[in-house]
């Protein structure tokens, strides 16, 4: 998902959720513009398996030794974040002060 699409989602989220509570939004079926709820994705990435017809190395150029046909397409990866409910408390380690005896 491009940064432009993420900004579009953040500024104008779809209204077909009907004000659903948080657990229902995690299972949101999506829409044509946003098939996945992008606010729950961390590190989305799109990769392709396409290869060039010619491999160029220093001093030599040759065709790739790949079979014809086969699968070609895109792979979308990312991690889904599940929002926490309730109060969240995060405290680091406090600095220990020297106590005078």
Rounded CA-CA distance 85/62 in Å is 57
pTM: 0.40
Q: What is the pLDDT of residues 2-42, one digit of tens each?
A: 777 767 766 666 555 555 555 565 666 777 767 777 777 88
Look at phi and psi of residue 57 and say left if phi exceeds 0, alpha if psi is from -120 to 50, else beta: beta
What are the domain boundaries of the chain?
Answer: 3-11+18-56+71-80
CB-based contact 7:38 (threshold 8 Å): no
Q: Which of 11-25, 50-64, 77-91 has the lowest mean pLDDT?
A: 11-25
Nearest by Cα to 50 from 75, 28, 30: 75
Whether the pLDDT of residue 68 is over 60: the answer is no
pLDDT band of residue 76 (cuts 50, 70, 90) is confident
């Amino acid at each position: 998902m491009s940064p432009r699409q993420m900004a579009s989602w953040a500024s104008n989220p779809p209204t077909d959720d009907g004000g659903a509570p948080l657990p229902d939004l995690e299972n949101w079926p999506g829409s044509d513009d946003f098939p996945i709820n992008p606010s729950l994705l961390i590190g989305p990435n799109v990769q392709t398996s396409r290869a060039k017809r010619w491999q160029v190395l220093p001093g030599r150029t040759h065709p790739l030794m790949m079979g014809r046909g086969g699968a070609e397409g895109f792979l979308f990866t990312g991690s889904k974040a599940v929002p926490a409910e309730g109060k969240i408390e995060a405290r680091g380690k406090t600095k220990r002060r020297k106590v005078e005896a």
